[in-house]
Chains A and B, each alone.
Chain A
Amino acid sequence: MPKQSREKKYVPELPEKESEELRNAAKTMSVKVMADNIERMKKTNPTRPEAMQYYDEVANFFGQREKEILEEKAKGKKVIGYFCMFAPIELILAADAIPVRVNSGWYDTSKLGDRVVPVEVCPVIRSTIGAKMVNLSPYMELSDAIISTLTCDGMTKLSEVMSDYTPIITMSPPRVKDSAQSLHLWKEEIKSVKTQIEEITGNKITSKKLREAIETMQRATKAFRRLQDLRKGNPVIMGRDAMLVNQTSTWDNIKRWTEKTEALCDELEKLVQQKTWACPPDTPRVLVTGTPMFWPDNWKLPTLIEEAMPQGVLVADELCSSDRLLYDPVGIDEWTMDDMLNAISERYLMASTCPCFTSKDGNEDRINWLINKIKEFNVNGVIYYVVRGCMLYAMEYSRVKKALDKMNIPVYYLDTEYTREDVGQMKTRVEAFLEMLTARVDF
């Protein structure tokens, strides 16, 4: 990595020796946590599909995928990182660049972020800053530029802090989704990002390339939805496994990921035929909504749910780090450049249920999404997960709770931090919630 001579407006200089020590400690911990998570996922489901082995390997941040990207970079490819799922992946692919999501799921680096921003700030932001301070994330280090969408306050300022290190492409989504100008403004943002990606990569995004990229992502959505459909019946895959599959799509080669996911679905369909279930079919079915959860450390809640006594199974989520990722395809009428850009704008804006939006009816889209998922996936209870400082998700809770009360669906608000210390307390609450769901199912 060439040393960057940017003036650091936010971040304190960290002596190289200290940085290295902190990076090594965090990396050692991370390797342990990744292995431990996978071990526990295997233990929870003795009939875990063999196809999961592929994702276990891709999940290793310091493994094969890092080497692969390094090799492609050596051949001249550029890497475009991104924080929010608003980044138009199709445009990155169409410029022959590699998209990678770079939010941090590391607990330890959030303490480093405390040196730059107050502890009241959301830990996803603090941890991402901390990871960059010690160059922990291979994908962040490999990024030639990072697309930062100004969704919540944390993300808005994160883009400024991160520009101390890496060129940042900002995208400003309109806050009111259904106003007359919103889609127009957003399309202008999409076009501007297209130009910036072209400049960084030196590759022109042609109609032909863009069409190919859209079709690639449509195939990914198809595989993704196939996996989703398999989670609607008796549990054939544990929620953590599905979550890992979904999340690896944000840093894996998406074409290969699609093939592997189709193969996983083939295997799962066989398991369904054999009536081989990942857990007893009467296990309470849980949906998680709220703050995104990132691999590897922030696997805390899904692990607690699926290892609890009584056990629960995560059948769906409403997280921008998992079930929301590839759900919506770009819908094309005509394959002209203008139409394709229109379709991309619509897909990334209108389909989003992010609480950074409001409209005439508030964030009604999110409520509808939840209600539909609860019905489709036969959900028994919802855990509303918020990390401290995640204001938008915290504030929408009351509305979600009211809507779910009407459906007689129990919902539990669980707030936590980027820390391992509160697992005991969380366990008590999660187990009481599952016990309640079990009692409801029994009677």
Chain B
Amino acid sequence: MITAGVDMGIQTIKVVILKDGQVVARSKAASGFEPTKAAEQAFEEALKTAKIAKADVAQVLATGSGMDMAPFANGTTSMMGTDAKAGVHLFPTARTIIDVGAEEARAVKCDERGIMMDFVVNERCAAGAGTFIEAMARALEVKMEDMGPLSLKAERASPINASCVIFGESDVVTLIHRQESKPEIARAVFDAMADRVSAMVHRLGVNPEVVLVGGVAKDVGFVASLKRKLGINILIPENPEYAGALGAALIAANRAKGAQK
């Protein structure tokens, strides 16, 4: 059976094509101003890579904050549900999935079937999410992808306010004026984010194993800070940014099977 998942993220759209439980293609595109068009293109591209005709796809499910903007999908499924499904698929022992994306961070508790049992979402503020790194990198005048490696050079972190992206940015400017070292400021940025995310996870209860997914899971600086804060090992899959799309494709397979019965 062939199914597909489309994760309509705020910054990036991700597509996964699944054939009999195996990922056969991935693609992504910037959401931009026309997310529907971008999603269609990304879907076409993934089909081409997998050498699969659209008609052979049994079901397509959309997820992500723009899930309503993928008209070619057969339905939608929540981001928390896809996190749980993908997390347990990737690591069968996973019981807590943390997903840090561009504008949102969330944590999901699940059972061995990948059914979500509880979840928390960061409260209407991007200070715990990827955008925070982007804003801070801008203030530090370094590339966003260099922030992580830079932070690993620091022994300690500068003090920083993480309650808000805007205030955080002015804090960073103050630190720059005080001539604190860039690595220490970078580490402070990740520590601050990890503080927010770990507080959120603690509200849910930390049930091992813990899996980290979402675009920010690729940032070595954030991963190091989060591991320090939580004090436990964190599992990170390859291609963590595709977890949402993968979960959607897995749920699509379940639904398609259910429909066959």
Contacts and interface: CB of A to CB of B under 8 A. Distances in A.
Interface of A: 309, 410, 412-413, 415, 422, 424-425, 428-429, 431-433, 435-436, 439-440, 443
A432 B117 contact: no
Q: A-B pairs with the 10 shortest C-beta distances?
A: A432-B78, A432-B80, A439-B115, A435-B78, A436-B116, A435-B81, A431-B78, A429-B121, A432-B119, A425-B124
B79 interface: yes
A425 B80 CA distance: 13
Contacts of A431: 78
Contacts of A309: 76
B145 interface: no
B181 interface: no
B87 to A, nearest CB: 15
Q: What secondary structure prevails in chain B residues at the interface with A? A: mixed
B115 A410 contact: no
Interface string B89-123: 00000000000000000000000010111111101
B161 interface: no
Contacts of A429: 121
Interface in B183-234: none
A431 B64 CA distance: 12
Contact of B65 (A413, A428, A439, A443): A428
Contacts of B31: none
Contact of A439 (B79, B81, B124): B81
Given A429-B121, A432-B119, A439-B115, A424 B80 contact: no
A323 B63 CA distance: 35
Contacts of A433: 119
23 contacts: A410-B118, A413-B120, A415-B123, A425-B124, A428-B78, A428-B121, A429-B121, A431-B78, A432-B78, A432-B79, A432-B80, A432-B81, A433-B119, A435-B77, A435-B81, A436-B116, A436-B118, A436-B119, A439-B81, A439-B115, A439-B116, A443-B113, A443-B115
Nearest to B81: A435
A369 to B, nearest CB: 23
A436 B80 contact: yes
A436 B77 CA distance: 11
The listed residue with most B CB atoms (<10 A of its CB), out of A412, A415, A424, A435, is A435
Interface in B117-153: 117-121, 123-124
A436 B78 CA distance: 9
A390 to B, nearest CB: 14
A422 B81 contact: no
Given A309-B76, A439-B81, A432 B116 contact: yes
Interface string B43-67: 0000000000000000000000100
Contacts of A436: 80-81, 115-119
Contacts of B81: 432, 435-436, 439
Nearest to B78: A432
A66 B240 CA distance: 59
A268 to B, nearest CB: 33
Nearest to A416: B124
Nearest to A415: B123
A196 B12 CA distance: 64
A195 to B, nearest CB: 47
Contacts of B117: 410, 436
A425 B113 CA distance: 27
A440 B110 CA distance: 11
A410 B80 CA distance: 15
A115 B76 CA distance: 42
B78 A422 contact: no
Contacts of B123: 415
Contact of A428 (B79, B113, B120): B79
Nearest to A428: B65
Contacts of B80: 432, 435-436
Contacts of A415: 123
A413 B120 CA distance: 8
A106 B232 CA distance: 47
B166 to A, nearest CB: 16
Contacts of B119: 412, 432-433, 436
Contacts of A425: 124
Nearest to A411: B118
Given A413-B120, A432-B116, A439-B81, 9 more contacts: A410-B118, A422-B124, A435-B78, A436-B81, A436-B116, A436-B119, A439-B116, A443-B113, A443-B115
A412 B123 CA distance: 13
| Residue of A428, A433, A440, A443 contacting most chain B CB atoms (<10 Å) | A428
B115 A424 contact: no
